[in-house]
Structure 1
Amino acid sequence: MAGGELFIKDTEAMGDKAELAHEEVVQIVALTEEEKVLERKLRIRIDALIMPLVILVYLMNYIDRNNYAAARLQGLEEDLSLSDSDYQTGLSILFVAYILMQVPSNMLLNYVGRPSLYLGFFVCAWGLVSALTSQVKSYGGIVACRFILGLVEAPFFAGVLFYLSKWYTKKELALRMSIFYAGSLLSGAFGNLIAAGILNGLAGHRGISAWQWLYIIEGAITCAIGLVICFVLPDFPDTWRLLSPEMKQIANRRLAIDAAEADVDEAGGMSQVRGMKLAFTDAKTYILAIAYMAITGASGFQNYFPTLTKTLGYSEIVSLLLVAPPYIFMVVWSLIHSHFSDRFGNRFWFFTYPIPITIVGFIVFMTTSSFGPRYFSFFLMIFVFTMNGTLYSWIANAIPRPPAKRAVAYAFINSIGNSASIWTPYTYRDQETPYYRTAMGVCIALQVLAAICAITLRLLLQHQNRQLERLENEDITLTEKEIRKLRKTAELEGIDIAAARRLQKGFRYML
């Protein structure tokens, strides 16, 4: 016991010195009041140019990815002689390529070092692939185009996360990511509205089918936006000509301050290999990955949304128009949902309350045939999208440090989550129209799985919070097991034992 008490005193003394040093560093580099005034102007300038551009691209990203579902109602299957399984393969193959390209994309972005050219190039690339998809004549052609589309779309999301982190502090980034994610929901509404307009006005024009016009027009728009990104999107503060030298200096300093406050020296010796080891030995990584896969699979109906609304008995144009209201409703609801989740500092309840709502929606759709209940079920099913934003925030709090561990965990969770989009399309079988009971049953099972993951994660975090509270109690003597754990943390993260204990101080996992 004496050894444990001596260890406590030593670590407390070393921790106090480290905290004093940290306070001195922060005091030296903190922005002055005059600089904070310029910082507010800088933030407004960044918000006015960068955020609208990346949201616009994200909107087109989802439109080009999901126009496959709208094209199904415009004669794609008939023109290409696709069977039900052929269509499903074309849907899932995109996500195979999407997952394969995640890690190479980040490596390439770091090598290029020019986000404007990098992102702009791939935006133009997927716009070109989308436009050329209009010329395919067979099953093999559509599968090849969908695979290539997944390859060239994959760099965008990971690239934008990296890009925005070069402009915004962590506190600022949370709100911007919530607004950014709303772009994917808006795409569900506007993409199908565009498809309805094309079907109404251009079907058969110049001998070209409606689904071909859909790919041509949306692909051309995306290419134009990609060119704008290449020439208008600033790379980094140092190279943005619209910023004065003072603003450039503040832009760099405030990010340096933010990084210093987040990870003073704890992650200085952290390599990617060590980060990978930490991520893959943390049970939370796997729980979050399974939860993400579950909600991604449960939201797979978005790839069949126009097909599902077609079961209401209306024309193709009306069926496309009926997709928009649920998405627009969810854009508003998800922003309110995320605001209150942050305000109350809670993730578990905001992750779980949509689960019974979505399950009711799936049950109503698979058991009723009248218009009112079936259309209302879409507004219930779409609550699954509120869970995405909550999960992103929960990941950041459940795996907060070190950065190398967090980076690997994000990549792994994203890959496992998107894998659900490879196999869930095969559960939507034409012979089960209009109820799609197999698909709805799978969605219900996946939501139950998500609930189990949330409960398991909450119990685990409560246990770890009790351990953190014990480590902070100066009146208790650490056990040999706790001392060994701190030593292991210090060894893995490349820090001393005092810093390892200081990592725990004042921190609690958000439940």
Structure 2
Amino acid sequence: MAISSEHKGESTPKASGEIVKIENADIREEDEWIQRYPLLRDKSQEELDGLNKAVLKKLDWRFLPCITAMLLMNYLDRINVSNARLAGMQKDLHMSDVEWSAGISLFYVGYIISQVPANVLIAKSSPRIMLPCMMLGWSACTICMPAVTSAWGFMLCRFLVGLTEGPFVPVVALLTSSWYTKQESPLRMGIWHAGNIISNVFSGLLSAAILTNMDNVAGLSAWQWFLLLEGIVSILVAIPGFWLLPNFPNNTGTYFFTPEELEMSQYRQLVSAGGISEDDEGDYWGGFWMAVKDPFTWLFAGMHFFIIIAQSFKDFFPSIVGTLGFTKVQTYLVQAPPYVISYIVTLVISWSSGRRLEHCWHIVGAIAMSLVGAAVMISTLNVGARYFSMILLCSGPFVALNIQLSWETTVVPRPRTKRAALIAIANCVSSVSHWFTPYFFLTNQEPRYQLGGGCIIVGAGLTIVFCVATRYWCIRKNKVLEKEEERTGVVNSWRYAS
């Protein structure tokens, strides 16, 4: 078979998505697993490889572009107020810094409330329907935002946007890990993470186009047009999702795959997880309690929390770039290159992580860039050095977050409800940081933002601590598995990727 459990060897993702066959795979074990699938059991190796390629091709050319576009709009709608602030939204609504930061924080109140219950429920339902519906919900809230006239209206809209956006990224991570093998996931998650990274590029470019040319058009401020147009585009992106997204391998219909491809999708995941099916156990809340009791959940939650602290500059990036002394249009435009570089770095490091099935040191190396970037930002006013520090700030946490998501879905693959709960819990814990980090980037901290930079340094350092602790726990769990094999003589194909 063209895929394998990690302890049997290393599979290398190619540019085409093909997975190289592992010569030392345990054929006896895979022969036993394939008997569960009537449409596959009598096929030759060449036919199985052909089906594997067909499944990957459909996922890479239908699911992946669709979810990337949806995530681009998800993140764009999340950060749009940062550029709207630069264009005068805070001033027009007569909001103080504290009121503005409260609105940013309330987004994450709604974001946290909805994540765990929604992700656990969607794990056994239809993401094909729920994801586009969530997108339509936050788009409607964004379209309403230009009508607000006070601080409380801004806060309410941001809360509702957070409520509808909350489950989206955890569900996408869950869905990706349900279709791609552990070798394939890091690169694919890196590709759809483009939505997170490239949205910042688009936000800067759109700001330069809209916020500088549409002020007072039809009696609306430029920032009102900016939010209105983004909400409309988000609706247009959501609608195709009803046809381009799959559900899970066990409940996706033939609208997406042929019956043989559906069985191949399930078999790929069975081999990747060492012979354990996604649906072997776990009801809605049984999986939740399994996640709560697993130390991995809290290790990844801590890691995620501090990665987001290291990324806390994101909502204020236009204001930070504004301290470099460029004109308003130049400030919008020079936001783009750091995020373009960040995206390229994310793809390269994520590819390396998946190829080597190694996560810890890839995260440590990436997050160290943020630590250096923050140190430079607060220690000098030199424009060139500060701009370089912003490139480092952007690259580190995006890479680390992408690999962390892949890692947590790799070491806790089954049952699906447990994996869903782990992803959501970690995301919820990390989102708590947004309740206080906005207060570290107030205007009275300009131009160095010493408090925010110090926050980033602490977040990066503690990310490294949690990362190394998680690696230690993986190694310890693997030693327990090896001792059990020696005691019983029964080979267990599962190993925890570190």
- Does TM, normalized by the shorter one, top 0.5? yes
Aligned in 2, Cα 1:249/1:100: closer, same or farther, shift over 3 Å?
same
Q: Distance in 1 between matches of 2:85 and 2:439?
A: 15
Partner of 2:323: 311
Name the CA distance, whole Å, in 2 between partners of 1:425 and 1:91: 7
1:258 and 2:279 aligned: no
Residue 24, structure 1, aligned to residue 11, structure 2: no
SS in 2 for 1:207: coil
Which 5+ residue runs of structure 2 have no aligned equivalent? 1-26
DSSP-derived class of the 1:329 partner: helix
User: Any idea what the Cα deviations from partners look like across 1:207-252, whole Å, max 9, x if unmatched?
Assistant: 32111110011111112222333466566886455x6xxx521122
Give the structure 2 partner of residue 484 of structure 1: none
1:444 aligns with 2:457: yes
User: Deviation of residue 92 (structure 1)?
Assistant: 1.2
Query: 1:469: Cα distance to partner?
Result: 2.7
Distance, in Å, in 1 between the alignment partners of 2:109 and 2:375 is: 30
Task: Provide the rounded CA distance (Å) in 2 between the counterparts of 1:407 and 1:109.
Answer: 9
Separation in structure 2 between the aligned mates of residue 165 and residue 345 of structure 1, nearest angstrom: 14
> What SS does structure 2 have at the residue aligned with 1:192?
helix
One-letter identity of the residue aligned with 1:328:
V
The 3 A distance-change label for structure 1 pair 52 and 268 is closer
- Of all paired residues, the percent bearing the same amino acid is 30
Task: Look up the match of 1:248.
Answer: 258
Aligned to 1:491: none
- 2:177/2:409 contact within 8 Å kept: no
Q: Secondary structure at the match of 2:324?
A: coil
> What residue in structure 2 maps to residue 386 of structure 1?
399
Q: Per the alignment, do residues 60 and 395 of structure 1 end up closer, same or farther by CA in structure 2, a change over 3 Å counting? A: same
For 1:340, the aligned partner's letter is S
For residue 12 of structure 1, what is the aligned residue in structure 2? none
- Aligned pairs (5 A) from 1:63-142: 63-106=76-119, 109=122, 113=125, 115-142=127-154
User: Comparing 45-54 with 87-96, which one deviates more in the overlay?
Assistant: 45-54
What TM-score does the superposition give when structure 1 sets the normalisation length? 0.82
Taking structure 1 as reference, are residues 45 and 288 closer, same or farther at Cα in structure 2, changes over 3 Å only? closer
Q: Secondary structure at the match of 1:223?
A: helix
Are 2:169 and 1:157 equivalent residues in the alignment?
A: yes
Aligned to 1:457: 470
Cα pair distance change 1:253/1:154, threshold 3 Å:
same
Does the aligned pair in 2 maintain the 1:299–1:384 contact within 8 Å? yes
Distance 1:342 1:468, change over 3 A: same
Aligned to 2:447, what secondary structure does the other structure show?
coil
Post-superposition offset of 1:387: 0.7
- CA 1:20–1:265 in structure 2 vs 1: closer, same or farther (change >3 Å)? farther
Q: Quick one: which of 184, 189, 195 aligns to 1:183?
A: 195
Q: Does 1:147 align with 2:155?
A: no
* 3-state DSSP of counterpart to 1:204: coil
Whether the 8 Å CA contact 2:101–2:438 is kept in 1: the answer is yes
Contact kept, 8 Å, 1:92 with 1:423, in 2: the verdict is yes
Q: CA RMSD in A?
A: 2.8
Q: Secondary structure at the match of 2:240?
A: helix
**SS where residue 298 of structure 2 aligns?**
helix
Aligned to 1:477: none
Q: Which has the larger radius of gyration?
A: 1
- Unpaired stretches in structure 1, ≥5 consecutive residues: 1-18, 475-497
In the superposition, relative to structure 1, how do residues 80 and 273 fare at CA in structure 2: closer, same or farther (>3 Å)?
closer
State whether structure 2 residue 379 is matched by structure 1 residue 367: yes
Whether the 8 Å contact between 2:128 and 2:242 is mirrored in structure 1 is yes
Aligned partners of 1:47 and 1:22: how far apart in 2?
Answer: 25
* C-alpha contact (below 8 Å) 1:351/1:391 kept by paired residues: yes
How many residues are aligned here?
Answer: 462
1:505 is matched by which residue type in structure 2? N
Once the two structures are superposed, what CA deviation does each residue of 1:168-189 show, in whole Å capped at 9, x if it has no partner?
5565544422211122111111
Instruction: Output the CA distance in 2 between the equivalents of 1:401 and 1:117.
Output: 23
Q: Structure 1 residues 285-294 or 46-55, which shifts more?
A: 46-55
Residue in structure 1 matched with residue 497 of structure 2 by the alignment: 510
Out of 270-279 and 385-394, give the one that drifted further.
270-279
Aligned mate of 2:483, from 465, 470, 475? 470
- Structure 1 residue 60: deviation in Å? 0.7
Instruction: Give the whole-Å Cα distance in 2 for the aligned partners of 1:429 and 1:90.
Output: 14
Aligned equivalents of 1:235 and 1:389: distance in 2? Answer: 22
State the partner residue of 2:432. 419
Q: Deviations over 1:158-177 (max 9, x none)?
A: 34345556755565544422
Query: Within 2, Cα distance between the matches of 1:124 and 1:195?
Result: 23
Structure with the higher helix share, 1 or 2:
1
Which of 199, 202, 206 matches 1:194?
206
User: Is residue 170–residue 258 contact of structure 1 (8 Å, CA) maintained in 2?
Assistant: no
Residue 14 of structure 2 is matched in structure 1 by none
| Inter-partner Cα distance in structure 1 for 2:103 and 2:475 | 43
Which position in structure 1 is the counterpart of 2:5? none
CA–CA distance in 2 between the matches of 1:137 and 1:296? 31
Quote how far apart the aligned CAs of 1:454 are. 1.9
1:495 matched residue in structure 2: none
1:407-444 Cα shifts (integer Å, max 9, x gaps):
33222112111221222111112211111111111111
The one-letter code of the counterpart of 2:291 is: A
Aligned residue identity for 1:189 = V
Stretch deviating more after TM superposition (84-93 or 44-53) = 44-53
| TM-score, normalisation: structure 2 | 0.84
